[in-house]
């Protein structure tokens, strides 16, 4: 009996991180000369009004920080595989052909696409094609069973990108492209997307708003926090009514509230929907280092544990993660590592209220300090 317990604890699982270095070639430089136009003038006016030198926050250093940490502190069971570029046909399942024409015309150029800090540099269009295609590669691997789970280490992120519009650092909606591919080509019939990035995934919600084949669960900091969408009442429409599930949170919300939302909303929703594939829009900007919310590394690990157990029970363990936001490079790298550790079979921690361990240590330390008589014990 002890032997069985020991085996359960030490059982490792294969996790494949899909990565293609072409995602590093997306590097907008706010000091570069951009395509002339009204949008450029507006962005210049905004930047000129800032008191500090503004740098593009979604930069290649995010990926370097993750790779450096995984190199220094490797997770047993995690291996790397290369990514690939998405085809125009794959992108066109969720974006309009006119939007794709406009974006492809910016190949090898510097331009602003949106006032919400979405810019392109000469390598950006290819990086965005690779980000979407690498998410497809991750999904193909978990559906074929060649890996237990997968993580697409990509940028630019995707969940703000709408069918007709780039927004909030996003060009193509990577997770949506991968979900649409799973439905069109891989025999999947119901895909659950879990989005725990601090920001609402307006683009993903928009793309699958009336689609009964995709359930979209999004926990995020509530409006007026960017992008301002994702209210409780937004539940989808038409055939997709009920398959959009939003959980808006106040600033500073952390592990305890997040895990309650997962256990009491996500778990029953997933059991009702019965997905045959789970995708996760994994941003790490809900960590308190990014100053919007208060999720800890143990919190990301615990959310991963819940998702993994849903995948094991409902869809043969088929789960693929894709990187979204996260701008503090330390919490980004540590957050992703904590997810990989759980996916690889590591122990799922039970997060505590921040400070509780320190308080208990202090209670023990000061115990007996304020009594009249010293204790006999």
Q: Supply the residues annotated as catalytic.
A: 160
**Whether 190 contacts 280, CB under 8 Å:** no
Q: Pick the piece of the chain touching Zn ion (CB under 5 A) from 242-250, 301-309, 318-326, 361-369.
A: 318-326
> From residue 160, how far is each of 20, 74, 99 by CA, in Å?
22, 31, 15
The nearest distance, CB 37 to Zn ion, in angstroms, is 27
Binding-site string for Zn ion from residue 224 to residue 263, where x marks contact by CB under 5 A and - marks none: ----------------------------------------
- Is 95 one of the binding residues for Zn ion (CB under 5 A)? no
Q: Where are the alpha helices (DSSP H) in the chain?
A: 2-10, 38-48, 61-72, 88-91, 97-104, 124-144, 174-185, 202-207, 255-261, 267-273, 297-314, 329-343, 356-366
State which residue, 90 or 118, has the beta carbon closest to Zn ion.
Answer: 118
- Is 349 one of the binding residues for Zn ion (CB under 5 A)? no
Q: Pick the piece of the chain touching Zn ion (CB under 5 A) from 3-11, 202-210, 228-236, 284-292.
A: 284-292
The nearest distance, CB 21 to Zn ion, in angstroms, is 23
- Is 58 one of the binding residues for Zn ion (CB under 5 A)? no
Q: Pick the piece of the chain touching Zn ion (CB under 5 A) from 27-35, 67-75, 169-177, 277-285.
A: 277-285
Query: Beta partners for 119?
Result: 112
Structure tokens at 43: 């962005």
Q: Pick the piece of the chain touching Zn ion (CB under 5 A) from 192-200, 235-243, 340-348, 360-368.
A: 192-200
Instruction: Give the up-direction half-sphere exposure of residue 110: CA atoms within 13 A in the CB hemisphere.
Output: 10
Site for Zn ion in 199-228 (CB under 5 A): 199
Residues in the chain: 377
Chain position whose Cβ is nearest to Zn ion: 325
- Is 197 one of the binding residues for Zn ion (CB under 5 A)? yes
Sheet containing strand 191-195, edge to edge, reads 78-82, 15-19, 149-152, 319-323, 277-282, 191-195, 214-221, 244-249
- Is 325 one of the binding residues for Zn ion (CB under 5 A)? yes
Lookup result for tokens 């926990």: 219
- Is 285 one of the binding residues for Zn ion (CB under 5 A)? yes
CA distance 282 to 15: 15
Contacts to Zn ion by CB under 5 A: 197-199, 283, 285, 325
């Amino acid at each position: 009996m002890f032997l069985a317990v020991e085996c359960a604890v030490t059982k490792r699982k294969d996790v494949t991180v899909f990565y293609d270095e072409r995602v590093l070639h997306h590097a907008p430089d706010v000091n570069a000369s951009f395509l002339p136009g009204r949008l450029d003038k507006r962005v210049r006016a905004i930047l000129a009004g800032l008191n500090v030198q503004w740098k593009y926050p979604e930069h290649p250093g995010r990926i370097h920080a993750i790779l450096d940490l995984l190199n220094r502190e490797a997770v047993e069971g995690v291996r790397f595989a290369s990514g690939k570029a998405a085809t125009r046909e794959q992108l066109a399942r969720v974006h309009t052909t006119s939007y794709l024409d406009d974006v492809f015309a910016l190949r090898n150029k510097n331009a602003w696409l949106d006032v919400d800090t979405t810019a392109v540099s000469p390598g950006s269009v290819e990086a965005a094609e690779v980000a979407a295609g690498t998410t497809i590669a991750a999904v193909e691997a978990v559906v074929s069973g060649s890996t237990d789970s997968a993580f697409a280490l990509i940028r630019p992120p995707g969940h703000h990108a709408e069918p007709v519009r780039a927004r909030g650092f996003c060009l193509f909606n990577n997770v949506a492209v991968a979900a649409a591919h799973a439905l069109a080509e891989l025999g999947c019939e119901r895909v659950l997307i879990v989005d725990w990035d601090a920001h609402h995934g307006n683009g993903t919600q928009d793309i699958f708003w009336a689609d009964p084949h995709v359930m979209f669960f999004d926990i995020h900091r509530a409006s007026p926090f960017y992008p301002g969408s994702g209210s409780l009442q937004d539940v989808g429409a038409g055939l997709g009514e009920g398959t959009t599930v939003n959980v808006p949170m106040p600033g500073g919300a952390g592990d305890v509230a997040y895990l309650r939302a997962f256990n009491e909303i996500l778990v029953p929703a997933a059991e009702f929907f019965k997905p045959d594939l789970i995708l996760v829009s994994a941003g790490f900007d809900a960590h308190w280092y990014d100053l919007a919310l208060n999720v800890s590394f143990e919190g990301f690990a615990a959310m991963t544990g819940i998702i993994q157990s849903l995948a094991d029970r409902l869809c043969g363990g088929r789960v693929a993660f894709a990187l979204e936001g996260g701008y503090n490079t330390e919490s980004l790298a540590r957050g992703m590592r904590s997810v990989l550790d759980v996916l690889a079979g590591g122990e799922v921690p039970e997060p505590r209220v921040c400070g509780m361990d320190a308080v208990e240590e202090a209670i023990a330390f000061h115990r007996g300090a304020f009594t009249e008589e010293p204790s006999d014990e």
